[in-house]
Amino acid sequence: MRRYARTFTSRQDCYSIQTEEGRYITLKRRFQLDYVQAHLKGLLTLGAYALDEKSQARWLCLDADSPEQWAELLKMARDLAQDAVTAYLEPSRRGGHLWLFFSPLSGAAARRFGQNLTERYDLEGIELFPKQDALTTGPGSLVRLPLGRHRLTGQRYHFVTLDGDPIAPTVRKQVRLLSTPQLVPQDYVRAVNKDVQLPETVSSKPLFPEARAEVTGATLSERLKNAISVYDFVRRYVDLDANATGYCPFHDDTRKSFGVNQEENFWHCWAGCGGGSLIDFWMKWREKEGLDASFTATIKALAEMLLPR
């Protein structure tokens, strides 16, 4: 349940619910995991905000409002599968949603990726979430959290394969599958976006504002370790509490087995997933995402993320 919530929900400081008329209202209260269980039981219906407080996105949702648009999304999903990119298909009353999941991206990068895909496949009239490059006022755009009951129609829409069959036979099993979705490889996102010029207001904003502007060290690995603390890096990918502990991203964790020692500047999983520097964390993260997890590839990727250009 927790992992399913993390797949789709980006905010902990507020949440939205759907009214019986089909509209959404925002409640500025702490998000609780129990709400997801109530959503899946049909007791209430939640909306999932596309951007977190730092204007980052973990997913992209393309919304088709007609059977014709839905057919175009299905064609795109089949083509993406040829590139080893998994698209998750959620039919609706008139069309449906195509979901793509990835490691956290800026809202601007996520939208560029979506816009480039729609242009590549000549998709017209498709609604794209997130709708904003970055948050300015309010929590931004949202999509109905999947597998709940639409309050207006009373319908529950399951995910399907490219052939139209359910991706799993029960809601419980679909929840389990969507708790660890296949992510779009970062290299694929970069390849789709490579020819697009970033607006200066976006490109000049550092991915990690905590990273030091001036970094010293005799080797590249030393400079990376000196560029940012393990805590500041890891908390972008793991939801850490006041004690710098959280659920380990490297195993099916239910007991907050993951922690960061801020004084000694290292991370550790008490359940046996290991620990170490930010380089060790990123190597393990890349392995989890199906990317090249070699030391050379990892420090090269980190250098692009953390070191001044």
Write the CA distances from 125 to 61, 95, 109, integer angstroms. Answer: 14, 12, 21
- For the chain, the domains span 2-191, 207-306
Give pLDDT tens digits for 21-58: 889 999 989 998 899 999 999 999 999 999 999 899 99
Q: Distance (Å, rounded) from C-alpha 159 to C-alpha 97?
A: 9
Bridge partners for 57 per DSSP: 105
pLDDT at 289: 76
Q: Which CATH number fits domain 207-306: 3.30.530.20, 2.60.40.10, 3.90.580.10, 3.90.260.10?
A: 3.90.580.10
Beta carbons of 35 and 125 less than 8 angstroms apart: no
pLDDT along the chain (309 residues), means of 10: 88 92 91 92 95 93 95 95 92 93 90 93 92 89 94 91 92 91 87 58 50 83 92 87 91 90 95 94 87 89 81
User: Does the reported pTM lie above 0.85?
Assistant: no
Q: Thinking of the domain 2-191, which architecture would CATH place it in?
A: Alpha-Beta Complex (3.90)
Nearest CA to 302 out of 223, 244, 210 is that of: 223
Half-sphere exposure of 204 (CA within 13 A, CB side): 3
User: What is the reported pLDDT for 309?
Assistant: 60
Please check whether the two domains, 2-191 and 207-306, share a CATH topology. Answer: no
Q: Which amino acid, residue 63?
A: D
What share of the chain has pLDDT > 90, as a percent? 59
Confidence at residue 207, expressed as pLDDT on a 0 to 100 scale? 57
